[in-house]
Structure formats: C-alpha cells, structure tokens
Amino acid sequence: MLDIVQIPVLNDNYVYLAHETESSKTAVVDPAVAGPVLDALEERGWPLDYVLNTHHHGDHVGGNLELQKKTGCQIVGCGSDNRRIPGIQIQIDEGDRFMLGKAEARIFAVSGHTLGHIAYWFHRHDALFCGDTLFSMGCGRLFEGSPTQMTESLDKIRQLPGSTRIYCAHEYTQANGNFALTMEPGNRDLLERMKEVRRLRQQDLSTVPSTLTEEWATNPFLRLDSPELIRTLAIDSADPVEVFAEIRRRKDHFS
C-alpha cells in the first residue's frame, strides 16, 4: 500500500508524504519548507528516505537541504535540470523508473511550466505527482517552455487511466474553475463540480486530489477539442497547440 498524506503549507502549496507500507519507505514530494514535513513525519514515526522534486521552483525545493541535513534522506530530481535542484543525488528523467520500496513510479518529462519538470506516476497505486504541470481544472503557467511542449506534456498525462488521482502542488481549484466556466458555461459536469468545490472551500477543505476522469470532463486544458470551447475562443484553427495557447493566454489575463 501507498499511504499519502497531504500537508498544506505557505499560502496554497501542497506537500505530500508517500509511505510504502510493506518496506516502510517514505518520500516527501516537493517540500516547500522543512518544518511541517518534519512534524508530520514525527507524528507518524516515519523516517524520511527520499525527497522527490518535480521542478526547481523555490516553493517546491525550499526544504530540500534542511531535510537532507536533518534526516539524511536522498534527493531525487530531474537530471537535465540538476544544477537547479538543491542537493540532488539521484538524477532521473523520461522513461526512468524510481522504486519507493516496493512501489514503482514511472517518470515522465513534462516541460512547459519549467524546462526539466518531471512527474511521478505510481501506476499500481493510481497516484500521479505532477507538481505545477496539471492542476485541478487548470495547468501551470508557461515560465520556461512553449505551448507545444506543454501540450505534449499534458497529453502524456491525459492518456493515463481515468482512475488516476492527480496530486498537484497547489490549491488553485476554485479560481481555475471560475475561469473554466467562462470557457464552457454550458458544461454540466463543470457546473456540478463547481458546486462541490465551493462547498469544500467555504469550509477551508482541500479539493485535491481530483481524478483524471474529473479532469477530462472539466479541465479546459485537457479539452482542446471541445466544440463549446472552440466556439468561445472564436479562433479559426482547431489545431490543439493553437487552442491550448489561446486558452493559456486568456487564463494569464483572467483576474
């Protein structure tokens, strides 16, 4: 079994502990800060074996060195971005496999938000740690990559099983959903989901993870062939990269 613990930190970041119960190995995904991670580990009596980073941004690697120093854990990250991952010891990239005890993660390169962004898919456990690539009803901004790269990256994720739980790194769901409604005001799945999201957020509860099935139905960045979406955009081309780029451009200027 893979036990996953969500730790909310900073304004809207989620850090995750992943604990493989058979071998009792534990990893933390994208530790923005060390303190709350050390507390959560101590509460459960889990020693830390690995830091798994998805990309180099400070709100994902900020706790790396302190955790390494205090726990002796090993730091895992993208080999092609090794100079920007503090303390990196194990370098991985597209097509690699990483073993957390008995649990295997397949590694995808998902450039776009940054170059050298990776995702960890624990396929037998239906869990994807995708950092700032796919969000619930949204996707990461293009700080370093191109629309072509991000479209390809999202497409890799889109092809996973619908039961995959999307452990993204931020609670952006409600704002993303408000934007998605401007793209597809007639999408009934989206309207239904937003009711639930508003209910959860009113109580300050997490909306993450969602499942990939929910994202297929509601996330505009995974719905590049939706007729309603293409009508809203009023662009001539139905080329997925151009549709993606136009949605991303509008989202960048939305509130």
Collapsed DSSP state (helix, strand, coil) of residue 155: helix
CB atoms inside a 10 Å sphere around CB 162 = 12
Helix (H) or strand (E) holding 17, with range, is strand 13-20
Considering the candidates 19, 56, 57, 125, report the single residue annotated as catalytic. Answer: 57
**Is residue 132 near Fe ion by the rule CB under 5 A?**
yes
The partner in contact with residue 171, picked from Fe ion, Zn ion, none with C-beta cut-offs of 5 to 8 angstroms by kind, is none
Q: Measured from the CB atom, is 169 or 190 closer to Fe ion?
A: 169
| Residue 123 annotated to the active site | no
| Residue 60 annotated to the active site | yes
- With 0-12 / 13-18 / 19 or more C-beta atoms within 10 angstroms meaning exposed / middle / buried, residue 34 is buried
Q: Measured from the CB atom, is 172 or 244 closer to Zn ion?
A: 172
CA-to-CA distance for 121 and 108, rounded, in angstroms?
A: 8
CA-to-CA distance for 15 and 31, rounded, in angstroms?
A: 6
Site for Fe ion in 160-189 (CB under 5 A): none
Number of shown-chain residues binding Fe ion (CB under 5 A) = 2
Q: According to CB under 5 A, which one of 20, 49, 59, 214 is a site residue for Fe ion?
A: 59
Nearest distance from residue 104's CB to Fe ion, in Å? Answer: 26
| Residue 125 annotated to the active site | no
Q: Measured from the CB atom, is 131 or 220 closer to Fe ion?
A: 131
Nearest distance from residue 7's CB to Zn ion, in Å? Answer: 17
CA-to-CA distance for 153 and 150, rounded, in angstroms?
A: 5
**Which residues bind to Zn ion, rule: CB under 5 A?**
57, 132
**3-state helix vs strand vs coil in the chain, percent to 5:** 40, 25, 35
The residues binding Fe ion (CB under 5 A) are 59, 132
Q: Which residues are catalytic?
A: 55, 57, 59-60, 113, 132, 170
